[in-house]
Structure 1
Amino acid sequence: MENFVVSARKYRPATFRSVVGQQHVTTTLQNAITSKHLAQAFLFCGPRGVGKTTCARILAKTINCEFVEEHVRQGRPVSELLRTSPDIVPAALHKAADPDNTPFELEACGQCASCRAFQENASFNVHELDAASNNSVEDIRSLVEQVRYAPQQGRFKVYIIDEVHMLSNAAFNAFLKTLEEPPSYAIFILATTERHKIIPTILSRCQIFDFNRIRVDDIRGHLRYVATQEKIGADDDALHLLAQKADGGLRDALSMFDQMVTFSGHNLTYKDVVQNLHILDYEYYFRLVDALLSENLSASLLLLDEVMQNGFDLHNFVVGAAEHLRGLLVCKDPVTVQLLEVSEGIRARYVQQAGAAPLAFLLSALNLVSQCDREFKQAKNQRLHVELMLMKLAYLNGAVQFAREIGSSSSNGEAKKKTSVAPAAASNGTAPTPNGQPNNGTTEAPAAYKPAPPPAPNNQQPTTNNQLAHAPADPEPIVPVESGIEELHDTPSIEDEAATEVPPTRQLRDTVPHVEIGRPSIAGHEPGQPAVTAAPLPPRPGIAPKPIGLGSKLPGLGSLKEMKAQQEQQAAATKAPVEVEATGPVSGLPTIDEALLHRVWSELTNECKEHSLSEYTILNRPFQANEQHLIVLRVDNPIQEDQFNEFRAGFLTELRRRTGYPRLNVQAEVVEQVDTRRKLYTSTDRFEYLSEKFPALLVMKERLGLDTD
């Protein structure tokens, strides 16, 4: 049984012409060989499976080809090579009538000894090193030692280092000198998928070639070529789906192609690819958009359930819906249809559905789906999150239509309002000003607020209603001026100032806090207590003080000073009044039941212990209420005083309610702690302190002649 060779190796490109989707790289390399401008080091970087190592091998094979050496470097014409060494001339030039003037792409002949050795993996001029497993300094030193030896056959020794970003920093530094100034016969080709991990000193010594992701059409064309060579029937939609799934990598596309052929045999269909690769088909999204356009929420939710029952990830479904809506948006314009990378049959369906979907629906739906995609990972119930998105999309068309109707009706109403004022002003012969008043030099109140005219004398005609026709029917609302500049003329008021003037009132304040005890409070204070008056209330909010009238002319310096003084007086009058509190003891209070007070205090203290230990500590101390129903709570420091004031209001309310004493009050007072202990600092102090307690120590000191130190 013959060993199976995967398509990625069997159909690996052997010439520059057969490289797929990297013409910008292959053309540059061919021109460099032709013009003899080969650099000593190349860096090939790009995604996986796009041809980096393949191009490195083709370059190494081409520069050592005998035909390239004789024709390009030695300058010998093709006709002479056909006579002397026909085996090294490419087969395409054998059939040319004038081989010297026939244009051709520079490629390796594939027939010389060097090319055959390369194809059989027996060439001593090409060395491949895997930097992922040979990334130490010793490996680079071994490579540098090999560079010292010239090639035995051919012109160049090529060193291909794959995954070069895996080298350590020490290995990079050991490689710098050789990479910058190698022997004339040595060429280094570095390949990597992560260019950002290579140190800048290496990058500056190499010619850098960026390999692009291969386009979907190019991958599909190569898959069609492989299928033809292998005599496998394949649908265009199936090959296109494989090319899309490969994400720009030809090796991935060929691997999936081999897997599909193994699954379905020699007839590859679109259904087989969808089933085996577990891909969300286009059909799901076409059905979804049809249901949303018809506002069929039930069908949308059932479709979502079908997707989940088939084992698909919800996030992939949301991402696919966004991609489908983007495709419909692209197909709205025939110019941008080419941006949609799908097969012709699927593209026709996109164009058909895009014609039925309004542009406003697509834009709003794409916005909602993108928002769902951003918030998907943070959602606790992800299925409900997606279903909520579908609910919004199902009624999106109706919402857009409703917004249009509201906008059109509001614009029509504004137009009618503007046209209703213009004829009235035109009949009076005056042009209306922006605030709706006639521009005749005088200010007149609207007719609806004008007082009735006095009765006319017998020799005069009564005033008719036609004289008031010039007044606007719907005055424009007054827009407040926020620039800080006051008017320079008096504005007449349309209201009766005497009727709207707020009479000054006296506010009475009860300084002793109390609660409702069943009898109403009269005039703001308790019965039997003296009334306490206060300054008048400030103006009500929303009624601004009337601006100072300055006449119709600009004021002089004197009037400006007067205006400033009036403004200061107004500012002083609008400040909050200082309330005068009642002082002196309150008489007639009942005697407090100490047992009841201590019992209620203990209950409240124990309740505070359950939720706050600091409140319990503050309240759990002795206290005493005086005849004025005032409890002085002595605390240890100002911090406890601040803490007590934070919960004092609620505690005091509950204490009054349970004890039935509405005049009860509690005040915190910091107790000054006096340290009466004697502080002992030196040994003399300690001895004096002990001698006061034990006089025998003095006698012992004198007899023995001891010292306190």
Structure 2
Amino acid sequence: MILSIMDYIVTARKWRPQRFDQVVGQEPITHTLKNAVRLNRIHQAYLFAGPRGVGKTTTARILARAVNCKNPQDAEPCNECDSCKAILSGTSLDVIEIDGASNNSVDDVRNLRESAIYPPIAGKYKIYIIDEVHMLSTSAFNALLKILEEPPKHLIFIFATTEPHKVLPTIASRCQRFDFHRIEIDTIIKNISNIASAEGIEIDEMSLFTIAKKADGSLRDAQSIFDQFVASSGKVISFDNIKSILHIIDNEYFFKVSDAYKQKNPQMAFEISEELTQNGYDYSEFLSGLMEHFRNLLFARVTGKVENLDLPKALAQKYLDESLHIEIKDLIRILNLIAQAEQQFKFASMPKIRLELLLLQIIEMPSTLEISALINEIKSLKNIPQAQVVSETKPTPSLPQTNLPQSKPAEELPEWDRFLEKYNSKINGLKAFMQSGTLKVEIREKQIVLIAGNELTYTNIKSKLKVINQAVKEFFGQEFDLKLIPAYKEAAHSEFPNTKKTEQVPAETNVTPTAPPESKTEVEKLLVELFNAREIPLSK
């Protein structure tokens, strides 16, 4: 048992690349270094910059072995000669690794300078690998500068750092700089999958994706997470175990939010919030995931493709299907809401309520309508009969049958005479205006039209429309659509030839529009054409 424990090596060390072509995700850098070794164009100093766990120190060690290898194979170290074996075991006197964080004083650099002038013992070059070189003090950098300016021919420096901006420009300018980038999710998935197959471990696609995403571009982090899952689950790793170990928020929570938006179901906002609280999830992490969720929907909606989303195929297809139900402008508005909430969240005294407010804003957000769609909708009204438009836009309850004929002057109806007699005192002036000829009344099916012949009549009757409407309903036992028309403004009405035209004032309905301005948008032109709309100048 003790022997088996001592034989165990963590995945990151066991599967550390030993050749340039084994370095994962940094092909441009390894290709350049191989050519430099092949052409014997070795620089005096190299600066390897990039995030953690992407292969900086590993590449430095491979380069150190390659330049000192006795039997190089296509610029690759053989890993079999005495020099390669000594470097691999860490016993070589020609390759010295220094931790810049713990050896950052001027005295440490002076000791380095004193030993660096001596030639290598077994190999061709003497190589110093300084990790986290940005941790050196300014005085230490200045002490190192002298030997970098005029280095011995046998000396090579390889600096590795995660923060290259902290390296003095005088040092960086004397180095060949290589920027190591974060490793792509697909590359990490492929690497972990190969390791799992070699180790005889079963792992599903969703688990591989979760490991790669959690690693955030660091292969070493991904391999460490993989070790953690193997220790927990054994030879079979399932996504359910991963969720419980990493305490990650399932994508289903984010799809619940988009489903609630489509269904306009505000109750789900509180249900989602309660589930997050019960499971102990971090609200900030949920907001970040929600932002990424709607970003994926937007990407799928705009491009119609999901290959670049770095998602499992089933999940990517789900995003593509869901994106078809939400408009692009709505997705942009939702992303803006989430971004604003993230900024306010850190200052919120009650984060749960702020989260619920965000979810309600998303769910209750009205959908946008394209101007082109609105124009097409307005144009379609031309083909709909007016009676149908009225019935569709303003439904009225079923009314009892009436004996009143359709579209007939009120003077010819005995019912209207009785109406005038009964309500003459209540509606003062109605009967007098009709007798004088300045007011005409036409009764149509479910509609009474009052036609005013001059401004005095129009103003008087307009002030009594509510009273007239109530009286008509009481007398006839049903509701009528009451309309008042200022006929004295319309040249088409010839019933009142002696009426002088006055300055136009806003009327309630059916007013002939004034001449439209020369420059009008398409929507404005349609409104004028379909609804007799006219422009009212603003008062100065």
TM-score higher than 0.5 here? yes
Answering whether residue 9 of structure 2 is matched by residue 40 of structure 1, we say no
Name the aligned partner's letter for residue 263 of structure 1: S
Answering whether residue 58 of structure 2 is matched by residue 54 of structure 1, we say yes
Any stretches of 5+ residues in structure 1 without a counterpart?
A: 69-89, 91-104, 415-445, 452-462, 480-541, 545-709
One of 292, 308, 330 as aligned partner of 1:339: 308
Partner of 1:500: none
After superposition, the Cα gap between the structure-2 partners of 1:385 and 1:404, relative to the gap in structure 1 and judged at 3 Å, is: farther
Name the aligned partner's letter for residue 67 of structure 1: N
Name the aligned partner's letter for residue 330 of structure 2: F
Name the aligned partner's letter for residue 393 of structure 1: I
Q: How far, CA to CA, are the matches of 1:265 and 1:361 in structure 2?
A: 45
Partner of 1:276: 245
After superposition, the Cα gap between the structure-2 partners of 1:228 and 1:413, relative to the gap in structure 1 and judged at 3 Å, is: closer
Partner of 1:442: none
Partner of 2:183: 214
Alignment of 1:172-187 (within 5 A): 172-187=141-156
Q: How far, CA to CA, are the matches of 2:79 and 2:14 in structure 1?
A: 17
Q: How far, CA to CA, are the matches of 1:243 and 1:474 in structure 2?
A: 66
Deviation at 1:230, TM superposition (A): 1.3
Answering whether residue 337 of structure 2 is matched by residue 368 of structure 1, we say yes
Q: How far, CA to CA, are the matches of 2:265 and 2:357 in structure 1?
A: 14
Deviation at 1:409, TM superposition (A): 7.3
Partner of 1:255: 224
Contact 1:213–1:248 (8 Å) recurs in 2: yes
Contact 1:292–1:300 (8 Å) recurs in 2: no
One of 75, 78, 102 as aligned partner of 1:133: 102
Contact 2:302–2:328 (8 Å) recurs in 1: no
Partner of 2:531: none
SS for the counterpart of 1:158 is strand
Deviation at 1:280, TM superposition (A): 0.6
After superposition, the Cα gap between the structure-2 partners of 1:315 and 1:37, relative to the gap in structure 1 and judged at 3 Å, is: same
Q: How far, CA to CA, are the matches of 1:158 and 1:450 in structure 2?
A: 99
SS for the counterpart of 2:177 is strand
Q: How far, CA to CA, are the matches of 1:335 and 1:402 in structure 2?
A: 20
Deviation at 1:448, TM superposition (A): 4.8
After superposition, the Cα gap between the structure-2 partners of 1:391 and 1:401, relative to the gap in structure 1 and judged at 3 Å, is: farther
Contact 2:304–2:320 (8 Å) recurs in 1: no
SS for the counterpart of 2:122 is coil
Partner of 2:362: 393
SS for the counterpart of 1:28 is helix
Contact 1:147–1:186 (8 Å) recurs in 2: yes
After superposition, the Cα gap between the structure-2 partners of 1:186 and 1:302, relative to the gap in structure 1 and judged at 3 Å, is: same
Q: How far, CA to CA, are the matches of 2:110 and 2:10 in structure 1?
A: 36
Deviation at 1:335, TM superposition (A): 5.2
After superposition, the Cα gap between the structure-2 partners of 1:411 and 1:377, relative to the gap in structure 1 and judged at 3 Å, is: farther
Alignment coverage as a number of residue pairs: 405
1:411-440 per-position Cα deviation (integer Å, ceiling 9, x unaligned): 8999xxxxxxxxxxxxxxxxxxxxxxxxxx
After superposition, the Cα gap between the structure-2 partners of 1:109 and 1:178, relative to the gap in structure 1 and judged at 3 Å, is: same
Deviation at 1:449, TM superposition (A): 7.1
Partner of 1:474: 513
Alignment of 1:79-158 (within 5 A): 105-158=74-127
Q: How far, CA to CA, are the matches of 1:405 and 1:44 in structure 2?
A: 55
Alignment of 1:435-446 (within 5 A): none
Contact 1:180–1:205 (8 Å) recurs in 2: yes
1:613-644 per-position Cα deviation (integer Å, ceiling 9, x unaligned): xxxxxxxxxxxxxxxxxxxxxxxxxxxxxxxx
Partner of 1:232: 201
1:665-698 per-position Cα deviation (integer Å, ceiling 9, x unaligned): xxxxxxxxxxxxxxxxxxxxxxxxxxxxxxxxxx
Deviation at 1:56, TM superposition (A): 0.4
Answering whether residue 70 of structure 2 is matched by residue 66 of structure 1, we say yes
SS for the counterpart of 2:270 is helix
Q: How far, CA to CA, are the matches of 2:329 and 2:291 in structure 1?
A: 15
Deviation at 1:236, TM superposition (A): 1.4
Deviation at 1:244, TM superposition (A): 0.4
Q: How far, CA to CA, are the matches of 1:138 and 1:286 in structure 2?
A: 59
Deviation at 1:291, TM superposition (A): 2.1
After superposition, the Cα gap between the structure-2 partners of 1:404 and 1:390, relative to the gap in structure 1 and judged at 3 Å, is: farther
After superposition, the Cα gap between the structure-2 partners of 1:293 and 1:543, relative to the gap in structure 1 and judged at 3 Å, is: closer
Alignment of 1:345-360 (within 5 A): 345-360=314-329
Answering whether residue 347 of structure 2 is matched by residue 378 of structure 1, we say yes
Alignment of 1:400-415 (within 5 A): 400=368
Contact 1:227–1:233 (8 Å) recurs in 2: yes
Deviation at 1:181, TM superposition (A): 1.4
Partner of 1:299: 268
Contact 2:305–2:320 (8 Å) recurs in 1: no
SS for the counterpart of 1:56 is helix
Any stretches of 5+ residues in structure 2 without a counterpart?
A: 383-485, 505-510, 519-537
Q: How far, CA to CA, are the matches of 1:184 and 1:57 in structure 2?
A: 20
SS for the counterpart of 2:21 is coil
Q: How far, CA to CA, are the matches of 2:49 and 2:337 in structure 1?
A: 38
After superposition, the Cα gap between the structure-2 partners of 1:230 and 1:450, relative to the gap in structure 1 and judged at 3 Å, is: closer
After superposition, the Cα gap between the structure-2 partners of 1:478 and 1:226, relative to the gap in structure 1 and judged at 3 Å, is: closer
Partner of 2:139: 170
After superposition, the Cα gap between the structure-2 partners of 1:402 and 1:24, relative to the gap in structure 1 and judged at 3 Å, is: closer
Q: How far, CA to CA, are the matches of 2:88 and 2:489 in structure 1?
A: 105
1:149-188 per-position Cα deviation (integer Å, ceiling 9, x unaligned): 1112110011001111111111111110101211101000
1:284-324 per-position Cα deviation (integer Å, ceiling 9, x unaligned): 11222122211121123202210111011111111111100
Contact 2:209–2:312 (8 Å) recurs in 1: yes
SS for the counterpart of 1:287 is helix
SS for the counterpart of 1:400 is coil
TM-score, normalisation: structure 2: 0.69
Q: How far, CA to CA, are the matches of 1:342 and 1:357 in structure 2?
A: 20
Q: How far, CA to CA, are the matches of 2:239 and 2:115 in structure 1?
A: 52
Name the aligned partner's letter for residue 474 of structure 1: P
Q: How far, CA to CA, are the matches of 2:499 and 2:489 in structure 1?
A: 16
After superposition, the Cα gap between the structure-2 partners of 1:348 and 1:412, relative to the gap in structure 1 and judged at 3 Å, is: closer
Percent of paired sites with the same residue: 41
TM-score, normalisation: structure 1: 0.53
Answering whether residue 54 of structure 2 is matched by residue 14 of structure 1, we say no
Compute the RMSD of aligned alpha carbons.
3.3
Name the aligned partner's letter for residue 514 of structure 2: P
Answering whether residue 235 of structure 2 is matched by residue 266 of structure 1, we say yes
* Worse-matched range after superposition: 257-266 or 289-298: 289-298
Bigger-Rg structure (1/2): 1
Partner of 2:259: 290
Name the aligned partner's letter for residue 164 of structure 2: R
Q: How far, CA to CA, are the matches of 2:30 and 2:224 in structure 1?
A: 24
Deviation at 1:339, TM superposition (A): 2.0
Answering whether residue 44 of structure 2 is matched by residue 29 of structure 1, we say no
Q: How far, CA to CA, are the matches of 1:111 and 1:343 in structure 2?
A: 41
SS for the counterpart of 2:48 is strand
Contact 1:296–1:394 (8 Å) recurs in 2: yes
Partner of 2:463: none
Name the aligned partner's letter for residue 69 of structure 2: C
After superposition, the Cα gap between the structure-2 partners of 1:187 and 1:323, relative to the gap in structure 1 and judged at 3 Å, is: same
Name the aligned partner's letter for residue 214 of structure 2: K
Q: How far, CA to CA, are the matches of 1:412 and 1:374 in structure 2?
A: 44
Of structures 1 and 2, the one with the larger relative CO (CA 8 A, separation 6+) is: 2
Deviation at 1:193, TM superposition (A): 0.6
Q: How far, CA to CA, are the matches of 2:77 and 2:213 in structure 1?
A: 33
Alignment of 1:236-247 (within 5 A): 236-247=205-216
1:595-624 per-position Cα deviation (integer Å, ceiling 9, x unaligned): xxxxxxxxxxxxxxxxxxxxxxxxxxxxxx
Contact 1:330–1:339 (8 Å) recurs in 2: no
Deviation at 1:340, TM superposition (A): 0.6
